[in-house]
Amino acid sequence: MSNQPSSNGPSSTRWIWIGIAVVVVVVGVLAFVVTRSDGSGGGSATPNGDGATPGVTVVPVGKVAVGAIVVTGTQLPEIATSGTDPAVGQVIPTIEGQTFDGTALSIGPTGEPTIIMVVAHWCPHCQREVPFLQSWLTANGAPEGVRLVALATSNDSGKPNYPAGQWLVREKWTIPTMVDDKASDGAQALGVTGFPYFIVVDAEGKVIERTSGELTTTQWEALIAAAKSGSAQPTA
């Protein structure tokens, strides 16, 4: 009769449990790594058209420096130097384009109030306004019920801070951003005359107000209030 211990004894069972524990630890580490790569630092996350997610860079890393866009609808007139903006009440055109990684993105009537921000990588005002707005979003979160979307226009390899995508990733920009084409047709369709430029539209895509230049916190929050209420808000 053999005196060898059975392979199914306590020692064998102990090694089975050790193996299971190792597998659990490895799976946990892998899950942590995937989560970190999707939602922190300079990584990228899938853009969503509903607005910014504070702390998550939704500007995807990619090679699209100058986009390809299609504009349908009536172009907005340029903003008047005085008096009423002639675009107020007009439905904005629809601009079909792409983000910096080639993902499709649309700017136009969406059924929800929207603020469109137009920025240029070489514009010193934009280089101050982008981190200002991002700081506000990080502190306050995306405004409830208001879609935020941006257009990176006037893209020029001969000007500073090119390409726009790398600049916005460095700023941890959390607003879905379309890349304008070489002729800046997207900006022209919106009647842009300066940078940064802001267009506030209602749920039907009608212009509520437009403005350009660096905003104060009060002015930025007034644009959000205008989008929610459907009418321009005083900032005094």
Mean pLDDT, the chain, rounded, equals: 83
Residue with tokens 């064998």: 12
Q: Which of 16-25, 33-42, 150-159 has the lowest mean pLDDT?
A: 33-42
Class in CATH terms, 70-229: alpha beta
Express each pLDDT in 139-185 by its tens digit.
Answer: 999 999 999 999 999 999 999 999 999 999 999 999 999 999 999 99
* 82 has pLDDT over 90: no
Give the integer Cα–Cα distance in Å for 152 and 161: 12
Is 212 a residue whose pLDDT tops 90? yes
DSSP string covering 56-92: S--S---S-SS---EEESPPPPPPPSSSS-TTTTPBP
pLDDT at 45: 37
pTM summary value:
0.77
Q: Across residues 193-219, what is the average pLDDT?
A: 97
Q: What letter would DSSP give residue 42?
A: T
